């Protein structure tokens, strides 16, 4: 999968590019007219840019310039041994926007990418036009002890705090398959193509470790000064338009996990629930997600 025949470098109605930003190099998949409004897509765990393949095509065909990036530590982007905090990754996104020659972008994030999208208006306000978050509660209530995450999600976050064993399970065991299955709606069988893609890319050098470091930072930093600074900053209200999309059958982030989001948004907040979809919204409900994003993007022109 590390060669250019694998899913990481899959051909399609897009181009692959390396973009330098924030002291690192990022693999970014670009599509759509260069003059179109920039929409940046941020994937979740254990995925990479390919999770957005349906939305890349739909948004590009609608005239938007789409940039789906592999986050730091994932896929084809740099995988440094340290520096995997949420503020650093947010700065990565801002840097990619500027490196693409743009002043502002609409940022769309799923799962952990949604946490970054929530962070953009606060930590990178100059480049953030609006945000859409999929299956991602606001970070402040999310990182509280009473965050209302499901028992499945809590068990996963607890398990990955130990060293080495989770990495081994991602590379050689069935942890990728179990995460995808648990995150899916009840009864959904993860397509073999998806399972192969995410298992293969997770087996690339360093990815299993660096991808987990993002999630570990979220948990471990909460009592530390860096985590407290991040949460203090995120207490500032979001002042750009926000779309929040939930899966009606999400077994990781149930509806109660989103109950406090509105208190952190002092701008138009749109919410939507996709019936029958689980946590993996871009792939479980590609058409519904694309339609919701296109409606939200169109509303920004009003």
According to the model, what pLDDT value does residue 4 have? 40
The answer to the question of residue 172 being in a domain is yes
At 211, list the tokens. Answer: 């991808």
Residues whose CB falls within 8 Å of the CB of residue 156, separated by 6 or more in sequence, listed in order: 179, 182
The answer to the question of residue 208 being in a domain is yes
Which contiguous run of DSSP H or E holds residue 168?
A: helix 165-171
Please give the residue range of the domain that contains residue 291. Answer: 7-299
pLDDT digits (tens, 9 = 90+) for 92-138: 999 999 999 999 999 999 999 999 999 999 999 999 999 999 999 99
Residues whose CB falls within 8 Å of the CB of residue 6, separated by 6 or more in sequence, listed in order: 200, 201
How many secondary structure helices (H) and strands (E) does the chain include?
12, 8
The answer to the question of residue 40 being in a domain is yes
Q: Are strands 15-21 and 24-31 parallel, antiparallel or unpaired?
A: antiparallel
Q: What percent of the chain has pLDDT over 70?
A: 98
What's the pTM? 0.96
Axis crossing angle, helix 175-183 with helix 192-202, rounded to the nearest 10: 130
In our burial notation (b when 16+ CB lie closer than 10 A, e otherwise), range 279-292 reads bbbbbbbbebbbeb
pLDDT digits (tens, 9 = 90+) for 58-90: 999 999 999 999 999 999 999 998 899 999 999
According to the model, what pLDDT value does residue 194 have? 96
Task: Give the position of tokens 């997600």.
Answer: 289
User: Mean pLDDT across the stretch 125-153?
Assistant: 94
Task: Give the position of tokens 């310039």.
Answer: 65
Residues whose CB falls within 8 Å of the CB of residue 76, separated by 6 or more in sequence, listed in order: 8, 9, 16, 18, 27, 48, 70
What confidence category does residue 1 fall into, taking pLDDT thresholds of 50, 70 and 90? Answer: very low
72, 82 in Cβ contact below 8 A? no
Average pLDDT, the chain: 95
Domain total of the chain: 1
What confidence category does residue 302 fall into, taking pLDDT thresholds of 50, 70 and 90? Answer: low
What confidence category does residue 281 fall into, taking pLDDT thresholds of 50, 70 and 90? Answer: very high
pLDDT digits (tens, 9 = 90+) for 245-271: 999 999 999 999 999 999 999 988 999
Residues whose CB falls within 8 Å of the CB of residue 142, separated by 6 or more in sequence, listed in order: 115, 136, 149, 257
The answer to the question of residue 199 being in a domain is yes
Look at residue 3 and tell me whether its pLDDT is greater than 50. Answer: no
Give the CATH number of the domain where residue 197 resides: 3.40.50.1820
The answer to the question of residue 2 being in a domain is no
The answer to the question of residue 147 being in a domain is yes
According to the model, what pLDDT value does residue 5 have? 42
User: Mean pLDDT across the stretch 31-50?
Assistant: 98
Closest by CA to 263, choosing from 139, 149, 136, is: 139
The answer to the question of residue 107 being in a domain is yes
Look at residue 239 and tell me whether its pLDDT is greater than 90. Answer: yes
The answer to the question of residue 1 being in a domain is no
């Amino acid at each position: 999968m590390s060669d250019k025949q694998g899913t990481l470098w899959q051909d399609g109605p897009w181009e692959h590019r390396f973009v330098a930003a924030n002291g690192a190099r990022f693999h970014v998949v670009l599509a759509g007219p260069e003059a179109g409004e920039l929409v940046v897509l941020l994937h979740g765990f254990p995925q990479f840019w390919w999770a957005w393949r349906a939305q890349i095509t739909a948004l590009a065909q609608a005239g938007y310039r789409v940039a789906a990036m592999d986050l730091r530590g994932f896929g084809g982007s740099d995988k440094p041994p340290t520096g995997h905090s949420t503020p650093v990754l947010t700065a990565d996104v801002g840097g990619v926007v500027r490196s693409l020659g743009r002043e502002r972008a609409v940022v769309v994030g799923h799962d952990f990418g949604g946490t970054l999208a929530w962070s953009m208006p606060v930590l990178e306000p100059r480049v953030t036009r609006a945000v859409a978050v999929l299956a991602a509660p606001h970070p402040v209530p999310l990182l509280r002890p009473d965050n209302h995450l499901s028992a499945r999600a809590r068990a996963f976050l607890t398990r990955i705090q130990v060293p080495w064993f989770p990495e081994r399970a991602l590379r050689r065991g069935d942890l990728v398959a179990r995460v995808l299955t648990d995150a899916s709606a009840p009864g959904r069988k993860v397509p073999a193509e998806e399972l192969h893609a995410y298992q293969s890319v997770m087996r690339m050098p360093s990815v299993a470790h660096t991808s987990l470091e993002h999630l570990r930072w979220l948990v471990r930093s909460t009592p530390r000064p860096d985590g407290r600074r991040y949460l203090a900053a995120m207490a500032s209200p979001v002042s750009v338009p926000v779309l929040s999309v939930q899966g009606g059958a999400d077994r990781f982030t149930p509806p109660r996990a989103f109950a406090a989001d509105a208190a952190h948004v002092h701008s138009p907040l749109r919410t939507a629930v996709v019936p029958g979809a689980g946590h993996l919204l871009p792939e479980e409900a590609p058409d519904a997600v694309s339609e919701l994003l296109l409606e939200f993007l169109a509303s920004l022109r009003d």
